Amino acid sequence: MGAVYRAHDEQTGEEVALKLCFDVAREARFEAEARLLSSLSHPRVVRIVDHFSDASGQYIVMELVRGVDLGAQLQQRGTPGLPIGEAVEYVLQACEAVQYIHEQQVVHRDVKPQNLIACERGVVLVDFGVARPLEEAELAGTLGVGTPRFMAPEVFADGTVSVRTDVYGLAATLWTLLAGHPPLYGKPGRLPDLVPDVTAQLEQAISAGLAFLPERRLASVAAFARALGAPAREAGGQPLAHSLEISEPPATVLEGIVRTAAGVFGASASSICLIDDASGDLVYQSAWGAGAAQIVGVRLQAGTGLAGRVVQSGVGEAVADCRADASFATTIAAGTGYVPHTMLVVPLLRDGRAIGALSCLDRRDGDSYRTDDLERGALFAELVVVALNQ
């Protein structure tokens, strides 16, 4: 696509990085990179100074980040990988950069060790050559854009892009920094076999970030950082998710709950999701009926979807027409092969706080769920929480 030179800015007297595009076919992509970088301002994101074109080509002038990229560090110091604490800290700093650009509705699409430079101010994310506004990236076919093994499987397969694309890149980067090589798609293996000191929590966090199907992957960079142990906070300083310390209920208990709920509420399908206290995501733990096998393991970012909205508010909802509701997670439903018409969703409350939600989908009599179903739903949810506490 181009080349990057060390240059001298005659106006400021500073050294800068000067990126030149010499591939005419990629000038539009180069211009998009300049436009995106101009809109970003964060200490963990490379800063653009200027961009211009002349007879010799298009240029982007950026700050010169003085440091060593993590790929080079791995080559120089990996035995085979970097120390666990150091690798995790590098990736947590990278999470700050990627979370910021996601908040600006930008997806990077090429997060990897070579695009993360460790310098005096910490890790800095560079090379936005394939980055795009999120809305544009979701609409455009981006088949094969990125770096194999760090590129999320769905991008490699059909060009699908979302914020979970960058979650995969971050998880693959951390795996690489620890193991000395990138993970394989679908079957990366057990990290503790390669790095004996890796804790179960760290292995679970990385595995959740590397999930082959995007809907089963950690839903956001903030969730990935939390799973790694970072105290993710809102602007007001409050935790984004309560630490609920929920022990995983036996599968037989959950299966009994969803089957009974379907019978009590005459539903064609039912499911139960619980908050993952490490990440803050809602994770579907058990389901019965249409689309049941596909929904188990799916993750929703906090506040996303009808279940996320109910968990956030702590108030149950009878939704007469799901597809007409702006909060309905259409892509998640479509991924299960079953898109419901009507839903009853009630929060599971423990000590006044929501720990998850129970959903009943499509009445078998063809009618819609109504507000008068909510009282029974709330009573049933109380029994569910009692069962989970046993």
pLDDT band at residue 32 using 50, 70 and 90 as cut-offs:
confident
Q: What percent of the chain has pLDDT over 70?
A: 91
Instruction: Give residue-wise pLDDT tens across range 237-251.
Output: 333 332 233 345 667
Domains along the chain with CATH numbers = 2-63 (3.30.200.20), 67-227 (1.10.510.10), 251-389 (3.30.450.40)
The predicted model gives 32-42 an average pLDDT of 83
The predicted model gives 352-375 an average pLDDT of 94
Strand order in the sheet with 67-69: 67-69, 116-119, 122-125
In SS3 terms, 57-115 reads as: EEEEEEECCCEEEHHHHHHHHCCCCCCHHHHHHHHHHHHHHHHHHHHCCEECCCCCHHH
The predicted model gives 151-172 an average pLDDT of 89
For residue 231, what pLDDT is reported? Answer: 57
Catalytic: which of 23, 50, 54, 110? 110
- 71 has pLDDT over 80: yes
For residue 142, what pLDDT is reported? Answer: 56
Is 372 a known active-site residue?
Answer: no
The predicted model gives 172-199 an average pLDDT of 92
For residue 315, what pLDDT is reported? Answer: 96
For residue 49, what pLDDT is reported? Answer: 87
Segment among 14-18, 271-275, 384-388 with least mean pLDDT: 384-388
Instruction: Give residue-wise pLDDT tens across range 182-192.
Output: 998 878 888 99
To the nearest whole number, what is the mean pLDDT of the chain? 87
Spatial separation of the C-alpha atoms in residues 281 and 217, rounded to whole Å: 10
Segment among 5-9, 104-108, 184-188, 359-363 with least mean pLDDT: 184-188
What phi-psi label fits residue 301: left (phi over 0), alpha (psi between -120 and 50 degrees) or beta?
beta
pLDDT band at residue 236 using 50, 70 and 90 as cut-offs:
very low
For residue 100, what pLDDT is reported? Answer: 93
Segment among 197-201, 336-340, 371-375 with least mean pLDDT: 336-340
For residue 50, what pLDDT is reported? Answer: 87
Q: What percent of the chain has pLDDT over 90?
A: 58
The predicted model gives 19-45 an average pLDDT of 82
The predicted model gives 115-120 an average pLDDT of 96
For residue 58, what pLDDT is reported? Answer: 87
- 323 has pLDDT over 80: yes
- 97 has pLDDT over 80: yes
